[in-house]
Amino acid sequence: MEERMNQDQPSTEGRCGRFWNGMDLLKDVTENKHFLPTGLEGVDTLLGGGLRQGQLTEVTGPSSSGKTQFCLHSASHVAAKHMGVVMYLDTSNSFSPGRIATIIDGTPGLFGQRAYGVQLLGFDLQPKDVRLKSIMRNIICESVFDIFALSEVLHQLEVSLLNDKEKNGGSRIRLLIIDSISSLLAPIIGGKYPQGRAMMISVAMTLKKLADEHNLSVLVTNHMVSAGNGAVKPALGESWKAVPHVRLVISRERGSNMCTATVLKHTLLYAAVFSFPPRWFLMYAGQQQQ
Partner 1 sequence: MVVMVLFAISAGPTGSSDLIFLLRTAPALPPRLLIRRPVSRRSSADRPRPASHRSSSAGSARSSGSCCSSSSAPPPPRRRRFLAGGSDAGRAVATRRVLDMGAGENNPLGAQNAWDMLSEEQSQKHITTGSGDLNGILGGGIHCKEVTEIGGVPGVGKTQLGIQLAINVQIPVEYGGLGGKAVYIDTEGSFMVERVYQIAEGCISDILEHFPHSHEKSSSGNKQLQPEHFLADIYYFRICSYAEQIAAINYLEKFLGEHKDVELCIYTSQVRIVIIDSVTFHFRQDFDDLALRTRVLSELSLKLMKIAKAYNLAVVLLNQVTTKFTEGSFQLTLALGDSWSHSCTNRVILYWNGTERYAYLDKSPSLPVASAPYAVTGKGVRDVSSNHKRVRVT
Q: What is the largest CA-CA distance in the chain?
A: 66
Task: Using CB under 8 A, pick the residue from 189, 210, 219, 268 that binds partner 1.
Answer: 189
Task: Using CB under 8 A, pick the residue from 40, 56, 184, 210 that binds partner 1.
Answer: 184
152 touching partner 1, by CB under 8 A: yes
19 touching partner 1, by CB under 8 A: no
Query: CB neighbours of 20 closer than 8 A, spacing ≥ 6?
Result: 28, 284, 287, 288
107 touching partner 1, by CB under 8 A: no
CA angle, residues 113, 115, 119, in degrees to nearest 5: 70
* Among 222, 178, 172, residue whose Cα is nearest residue 90: 178
CB nearer to partner 1: give 12 or 93: 93
Number of residues that bind partner 1 (CB under 8 A): 79
103 touching partner 1, by CB under 8 A: no
Give the 3-state secondary structure of residue 138: coil
Do residues 64 and 252 touch, judged by C-beta distance below 8 A?
A: yes
Q: Which residues ranging from 45 to 84 are in contact with partner 1 (CB under 8 A)?
A: 62-64, 68-69, 72
In the complex, the smallest distance separating the C-beta of residue 117 from partner 1, rounded to whole angstroms, is 7
In the complex, the smallest distance separating the C-beta of residue 1 from partner 1, rounded to whole angstroms, is 6
What angle do helix axes 97-105 and 127-136 make, rounded to 10 degrees? 120
Hey, what's the torsion of the CAs at 111, 52, 245, 270, to 10 degrees? -100
Q: Which window, 88-96, 212-220, 258-266, 279-287, contacts partner 1 (CB under 8 A)?
A: 88-96
Task: Using CB under 8 A, pick the residue from 22, 98, 241, 260 that binds partner 1.
Answer: 98
In the complex, the smallest distance separating the C-beta of residue 65 from partner 1, rounded to whole angstroms, is 9
183 touching partner 1, by CB under 8 A: yes
Do residues 251 and 65 touch, judged by C-beta distance below 8 A?
A: yes
95 DSSP 8-state letter: -
Q: What is the DSSP pairing of strand 173-179 with strand 217-222?
A: parallel
146 touching partner 1, by CB under 8 A: yes
In the complex, the smallest distance separating the C-beta of residue 155 from partner 1, rounded to whole angstroms, is 8
CA–CA dist 214, 37 (Å, integer): 18
Residues 228-267: x where in contact with partner 1 by CB under 8 A, - otherwise, as a string? --x-x--x-------------------x-x----------
In the complex, the smallest distance separating the C-beta of residue 49 from partner 1, rounded to whole angstroms, is 24
